[in-house]
């Protein structure tokens, strides 16, 4: 790997401002210039990723600078945000991590929202269960210190404080797959707060499945998938 920390032309999208939200009173997303400025001015560095981690650090202990996810469970569920606002959270994370991690480039960004900033890009994988896929050769993001494939899902909150948020079935399946990979893959939830005003990366939740298993988080199922057997109702081959 080249060791470049990015920050070049990849960070400057060709279009200037996200389209305005059609959701009436919903908070409008920040413009691209404001997002890039917030990312560039952030004091975050790889040296203090540890202060944001929730989950297992390099020593295998629970991170101490952030509370257990269980402490957030008494709060109200985070507000749903328009897609444009979710997209701005993804761009903020892209701009931040491109500046801080070697070879974190546009090809790592795989969600459909990338097309709002970089029209015509290829490699979109909407069924991935994560927004970014990054080969972290030195384990800098999670603090593991080892080479691993990291799947990053961005959760954009309009609140200033972290609140419980929704995960899709696909996201949870990807998180479980990473959890069961024997350390070769890791799933990280990147939580961005105050995304429509003054966005900041508030938490890096490493292996959310382990958080639930260890009792540090709660996962409430709110959607059931009902499927008929391939041969019709009542098939004994289910």
State pTM to two decimals: 0.77
Helix (H, G, I), strand (E, B) or coil at 139: coil
Question: So what's the pLDDT on residue 85?
Answer: 86
Q: Look at residue 24 and tell me if it is in a domain.
A: yes
Q: Where do the H-state alpha helices sit in the chain?
A: 32-41, 83-100, 114-117, 169-179, 208-213
Lowest mean pLDDT: which of 2-16, 18-32, 126-140? 2-16
Q: Look at residue 51 and tell me if it is in a domain.
A: yes
Residues spanned by the domain of 168: 9-213
**The 3-state secondary structure of 40-99, one letter per residue:** HHCCCCHHHHHHCEECECCCCCECCCCCCHHHHCCCCCCCCCCHHHHHHHHHHHHHHHHH
Tens of pLDDT, residue by residue over 180-201, are: 999 999 999 999 999 999 999 9
Q: Look at residue 1 and tell me if it is in a domain.
A: no
Q: Look at residue 152 and tell me if it is in a domain.
A: yes
Number of domains the chain is built from:
1
- CA 67 – CA 203 distance, rounded (Å): 10
Q: Look at residue 4 and tell me if it is in a domain.
A: no
Q: Look at residue 42 and tell me if it is in a domain.
A: yes
């Amino acid at each position: 790997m080249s060791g470049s920390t990015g920050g070049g032309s990849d960070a400057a999208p060709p279009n200037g401002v996200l389209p305005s939200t059609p959701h009436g009173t919903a908070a409008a997303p920040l413009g691209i210039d404001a997002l890039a400025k917030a990312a560039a001015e952030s004091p975050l560095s790889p040296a203090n990723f540890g202060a944001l981690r929730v989950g297992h650090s390099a020593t295998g202990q629970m991170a101490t600078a952030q509370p257990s996810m269980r402490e957030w469970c008494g709060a109200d569920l985070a507000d749903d945000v328009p897609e444009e606002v979710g997209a701005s959270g993804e761009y903020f994370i892209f701009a931040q991590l491109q500046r801080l991690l070697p070879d974190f480039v546009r090809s790592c960004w795989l969600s459909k929202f990338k097309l709002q900033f970089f029209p015509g890009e290829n490699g979109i994988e909407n069924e991935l269960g994560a927004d970014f896929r990054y080969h972290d050769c030195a384990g800098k993001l999670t603090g593991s210190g080892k080479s691993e494939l990291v799947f990053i899902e961005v959760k954009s909150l309009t609140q200033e404080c972290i609140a419980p948020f929704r995960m899709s079935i696909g996201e949870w399946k990807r998180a479980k797959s990473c959890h069961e990979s024997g350390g070769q893959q890791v799933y990280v939830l990147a939580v961005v707060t105050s995304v429509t005003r003054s966005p900041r990366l508030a938490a890096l939740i490493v292996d959310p499945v382990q958080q639930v298993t260890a009792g540090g988080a709660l996962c409430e199922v709110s959607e059931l998938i009902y499927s008929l057997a391939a041969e019709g109702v009542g098939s004994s081959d289910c």
